[in-house]
Structure 1
Amino acid sequence: MLSFKSKILCLLFLLPLIANGGGFSDGECLNANFKTAVEHKGKPFGMSKSQLNLQKEGCVVTLNHEAMFMKKGWVLDVCRGPVHIKTQNDDVTKREAHCSVGGNSNFCGTLKKIQGILQDDGLIFASGEKEDLSSDHGKVYCAYILLNSYLGEGVVFSRHKQYPTSFIHREGKKIKATKVQAVAKPILPSEGKPNQAATYSDQQPSGVTDPSVSTGSF
């Protein structure tokens, strides 16, 4: 039977997991830098291979895919507006409106292609758990959610805002970002009072809350 001290230690360990839904937060995903590669046997008859290479540096997600001896690649900056898709040849397609089920624009077609690659050659075959950002599955899932919000819903992220919620519990819900608060500045002692201790003022910028935007599937 666990002692009282052991129970307290277990509780302290579990609290962050419970509060965060057992997964990484939006902000942790946005600020993460990683590389991952997922490979599996492809069509026809497993004679070729499908390979997904994913790299994330800050806001920039680079996606390279090879299947049936054909290569495709995109560079996506989820913090840059207007929302757009850029190929590695610098061809740019801007988002015009929400892509409906029957949307047949160039942007929507590329969006569906990226969706299929991340799902079929990434999420299905990546090792590990999606809640673990250090695993291949977690890295692909992080990129999938960011690109879903950016390309699918038109959310332009910012690394100067806070995204505290968990991706695991945010799927299909609203996200809300707040600006990072300014660092408190010391108030120096006034003249004639040399022994007065310096204090710190809490400074909060105005307009810290952005309008909520809903996220959903591609």
Structure 2
Amino acid sequence: MTLDFAKAREAMVEQQVRPWDVLDPRVLNVLLRLPREAYVPEAHRALAYADIALPLAHGESMMKPVVEGRVLQALALDGSEDVLDIGTGSGFLAACLGRLARSVTSIERHAELAAQAQATLLAQGATNVSVAHADAFTWEPGRQFDAIVVGGAVDAVPERFLGWLRPGGRLFAVRGRAPAMEAVLVHADVNGPRIESLFETDLAYLAGAEPAPAFAL
């Protein structure tokens, strides 16, 4: 039996994403139109629209669709922004960002994932999204962005990431320690960073942003 991905996509939006308070029509439209299955490894393609985080190579994973929806809604993109996506993974979130922003730069520390994501994005017509093989903790963009998405959890939001924000920009991150991590939006206000708490979730850590090991006697 062939899975009807269009129906599965609609069910994901109506039964998972919208009930989790994702109500922005532009975000819902992107999630309804973009073929998420094209970004999912073939072994898990039948689960492309399930309410789970899907495994990728190198121990990485795709966010749950509901979290992706909340990320996109929180950024409130209007089409004029240059966006940085830290942790490309499959490239699906970068593709969504590309539909909502002017341009997207996405970085991925695994060369294989970066190459696969770039190929998929190009095949899907996402010409305003570029993927670079880079580690977020050694990479220097040489520029600033209007919005930044950190695709893995952080113990605390790294200062270097905040330095990449333009004045008035915003950064989405999930911070803290499992099982009670907090999704936040950091606004680059004139008087310094302002943190807006969004929702609780749980995400795998971004490599290099894990809590320092605790030593017990």
For the aligned pair, the TM-score class normalised by the smaller chain equals under 0.3
Give the number of the structure whose residues are more often helix, by fraction: 2
More contact order relative to length (CA 8 Å, sep ≥ 6): 1
TM-score, normalised by the number of residues in structure 1: 0.27
Higher Rg = 1
